[in-house]
């Protein structure tokens, strides 16, 4: 290590500020974190290295739906760590059957293909839809088209960012994979018009999370389902952020009683303990994959399956969905009351909200910095929009307090 690098990274001064500087010094700046350094967390609260406490209103982008350090999930993870963590899929382990059966049942589907990150699950869904298109639908080789929506966020691989319309996500990373057609999100007629004999699938988020918690018009998902059935096209719902209790139902598609052909899941499936993602579908869809045609060294590992099983057990009680729906009503009331007082618009579904702050109040980043000074951690997305996604275990009183802080910040108190 050179002298200058040593100088940059060696700090004797303790505390969050020094630790933050040290962390930023030796990482690529592909993130712009708030200047907080968290040391531990429980439930909806995080504590920094100086002992300051913060209410977590982001929940790891919904990876922490069940809160930090959920006792049952931690116990499961600890016990599994001591027994077995990985076999690779070359051998079967004793956590695999339970996980796939439970998750399949939660989704009402026959088969589960476990992966690790959300982007890998999306890639899996894209590959499965293409293969289904060639082998089942009979599309000519390499001609498959998949319809996606404007404003989407499906992950960061080169294929996925190729059909993003966010310049930050996309620019500088081409050339991109062909075979994707973008239509305006929420516009059913445009989506129907884009279907051709080469269309093998539609990939949409039932609610766009990164986009700012954008909720499509009522009937949109139902319309996609009907169009896909009519035109022999697969419907893949990216429920990675919207699913698993966040919106007050198990899946965001449940609000319209819509069942997609492929559920694409991630984030909360690993409870913020390990990355766990999956594509869940029936045999006529996932059955197109044969040995050697797709895989992942860590996908479906024993630790991931143990944690994922425990997550599905929690969801199967319905308690978290109920809690999300109930607290979501309070969240909606409180946020709607802020409209006209520093907030220009809100979108709420369950315990999930996009809050458009009046640009006169400040950027989303500035609002998040002001919230941090008041002991609340939230994340801006796209300009002046704040996304709120508290852990579903947050207490009513803590959530109310957090919203008091937001009301004070946006009203300039």
Q: Which residues bind ligand PLP (CB under 6 A)?
A: 61, 117-119, 122, 153-155, 205, 209-210, 238, 240-241, 266-267
271 burial via Cβ count (<10 Å: 0-12, 13-18, 19+): buried
CB 339 within 8 A of CB 311: no
Closest-CA residue to 209 (of 70, 354, 90, 20): 354
In whole angstroms, how close is the CB of 156 to ligand PLP at the nearest point?
Answer: 6
What is the DSSP secondary-structure string of 158-199? HHHHHT---HHHHTTS-S--S-EEEE-TT-HHHHHHH--TTE
Is 153 considered catalytic here? yes
In whole angstroms, how close is the CB of 120 to ligand PLP at the nearest point?
Answer: 7
* CB nearer ligand PLP, residue 155 or residue 300: 155
In whole angstroms, how close is the CB of 234 to ligand PLP at the nearest point?
Answer: 17
DSSP 376: E
What is the DSSP secondary-structure string of 107-130? HT-SEEEEESSHHHHHHHHHHHHH
Active-site entry in 102, 109, 131, 267: 267
In whole angstroms, how close is the CB of 352 to ligand PLP at the nearest point?
Answer: 11
Active-site entry in 48, 56, 238, 358: 238
* CB nearer ligand PLP, residue 118 or residue 391: 118
* CB nearer ligand PLP, residue 155 or residue 328: 155
* CB nearer ligand PLP, residue 76 or residue 152: 152
In whole angstroms, how close is the CB of 343 to ligand PLP at the nearest point?
Answer: 23
CB 361 within 8 A of CB 412: yes
- The span from the first CA to the last CA of the chain, in angstroms, equals 48
* CB nearer ligand PLP, residue 123 or residue 398: 123
What is the DSSP secondary-structure string of 324-339? HHHHHHHHHHHHHHHB
User: Token pair of 110, please?
Assistant: 């026959």
- Residue of minimal CB distance from ligand PLP? 118
Is 187 considered catalytic here? no
Is 251 considered catalytic here? no
> Phi, psi (5° rounding) for residue 343?
-120, 135
Q: Tell me which residues are annotated as active site.
A: 153, 238, 267
């Amino acid at each position: 290590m050179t002298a200058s690098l040593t100088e940059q990274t060696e700090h004797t001064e303790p505390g969050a500020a020094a630790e933050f500087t040290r962390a930023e010094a030796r990482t690529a700046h592909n993130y712009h974190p708030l200047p907080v350094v968290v040391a531990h967390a429980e439930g909806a609260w995080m504590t920094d290295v100086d002992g300051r406490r913060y209410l977590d209103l982001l929940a790891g982008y919904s990876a922490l739906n069940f809160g930090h350090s959920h006792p049952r999930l931690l116990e499961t993870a600890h016990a599994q760590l001591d027994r077995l963590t990985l076999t690779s899929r070359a051998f079967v382990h004793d956590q695999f059957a339970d996980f796939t059966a439970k998750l399949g049942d939660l989704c009402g589907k026959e088969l589960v293909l476990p992966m690790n990150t959300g982007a890998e699950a999306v890639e899996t869904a894209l590959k499965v839809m293409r293969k289904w298109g060639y082998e089942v639908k009979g599309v000519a080789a390499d001609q498959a088209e998949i319809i996606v929506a404007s404003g989407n966020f499906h992950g960061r691989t080169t294929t996925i960012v190729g059909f993003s319309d966010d310049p930050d996500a996309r620019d500088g990373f081409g050339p991109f994979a062909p075979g994707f057609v973008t239509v305006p999100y929420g516009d059913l007629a445009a989506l129907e018009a884009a279907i051709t004999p080469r269309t093998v699938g539609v990939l949409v988020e039932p609610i766009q999370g990164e986009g700012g918690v954008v909720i499509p018009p009522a009937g949109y998902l139902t319309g996609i389902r009907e169009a896909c059935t009519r035109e022999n096209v697969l419907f893949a719902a990216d429920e990675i952020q919207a699913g698993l209790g966040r919106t007050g139902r198990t899946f965001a598609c449940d609000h319209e009683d819509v069942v997609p052909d492929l559920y694409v899941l991630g984030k909360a499936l690993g409870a913020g303990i390990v990355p766990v993602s999956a594509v869940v579908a029936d045999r006529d869809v996932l059955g197109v994959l044969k040995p050697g045609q797709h895989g992942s060294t860590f996908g479906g590992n024993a630790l991931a399956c143990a944690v994922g099983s425990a997550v599905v057990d929690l969801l199967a009680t319905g308690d978290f969905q109920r809690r999300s729906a109930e607290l979501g009503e309070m969240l909606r009331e409180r946020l709607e009351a802020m409209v006209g007082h520093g907030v220009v618009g809100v979108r709420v579904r369950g315990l999930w909200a996009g809050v458009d702050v009046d640009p006169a109040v400040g950027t989303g980043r500035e609002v998040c910095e002001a919230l941090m000074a008041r002991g609340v951690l939230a994340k801006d997305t796209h300009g002046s929009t704040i996304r709120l996604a508290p852990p579903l275990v947050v207490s009513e009183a803590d959530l109310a307090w957090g919203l008091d802080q937001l009301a004070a910040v946006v009203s300039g108190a």
